[in-house]
Structure formats: structure tokens, C-alpha cells
Amino acid sequence: MSDQAERRIVVGVEGSGYAREALIWAIEEAHHREAVVEVVTCFSPTYVPAAPDLGYVPLDSFDLATEVEKMQSEVIEAALAAADFSDEVEIRRSLKKGRPADTLMAAAAGATMLVVGNRGRGGFAGLRLGSVSQAIAHHSPCPLVIVRSGLETD
């Protein structure tokens, strides 16, 4: 295993305040570990049936990857503004198509740790742990940190 792989912190970011708090935590941890932070954002286009002989077509009428990249940049900029040591940590950005839990675990293979917020944008407001965090907690390929931010509203 190379030094680079041993000192990589993967952070799942999906646009919520919970993800921003997880990224702030990861930036500060990366400073202490002299690690690189790899921000991973997962997305899945929505497909709908067009016609029996045409199969499925994308429902999203805009460039989804561009919108996801813009959202990821906004979260990163907000986290860098709030984090200590942000000037001293290398941030890498990655957009990946796929289901969030599976995609994050694949991205975290060989990483020092995987960091996510305790919940995301979907689901029910009263949940203490979201579905992605729950799935990753059972199957993470590396040490996992679930940052519980205690945000009342997002």
C-alpha cells in the first residue's frame, strides 16, 4: 500500500448541512494526519419509459453532472470557509454515478477513513441516522466516522 492511499480521507457530500459539517470535520482531521481529503459526490440520473420500443430515456432535462458539480463546489467552499487549517489541506473532487452507499464504499477502498454526515437530504426529518450512513456502518471497507452535527434544520 502506498503512502498516498494510507493518508486519504474520503468524504461523502450530497449538498446538505450534515455533509458540510462532515467535510469540516474531515478537513481538520486531515490536517492532523497530513492526509488528502477526497470529496465524493454520487448521483443517479432518473430514467422513465419513453415508449414500448424506445426503452428508457433520461427524465432530467438539464445537465445533471454540471448541477451536481456546482452543488459540490458550494459545499466545499462553505466548509473551507468554516474549517481551521483549510489552507493546509489538499482537497480532491470526484463525481461518481451510482448508488451512494455502494459508490462511497468503492471510493473508500484503501483509504485511511470514510467520513459521512449522520443523515442527508432525504428521508424523514426525525431520523438520527440516514439510510446511506446506516448501510455504510455495516459494510465500510475502512474505518468510518459518522459526524453527528445536531442540525435542527437543514
**H/E stretch holding 49:** strand 47-51
Q: Which residue has the higher pLDDT, 111 or 119?
A: 111
Give the integer Cα–Cα distance in Å for 49 and 58: 9
pLDDT at 140: 95
The pLDDT assigned to 100 comes to 93
Confidence of residue 4 (pLDDT cuts 50, 70, 90): very low
Q: With 60 as the cut, is the pLDDT of residue 10 above it?
A: yes
pLDDT beyond 90 at 95 = yes
- Provide mean pLDDT across the span 92-96: 96
- The mean predicted confidence, pLDDT, of the chain is 86
pTM of the predicted model, to two decimals? 0.84
Mean of the pLDDT values across residues 105-128? 81
Better pLDDT: 125 or 76: 76
pLDDT tens for 15-73 read 888 999 999 999 999 999 999 999 999 998 777 777 777 777 767 656 888 899 999 99
Angular region, 116: left φ>0, alpha ψ -120 to 50, beta rest: beta
27 CB-near residues (< 8 Å, 6+ apart): 37, 79, 80, 83, 85, 86, 89, 91
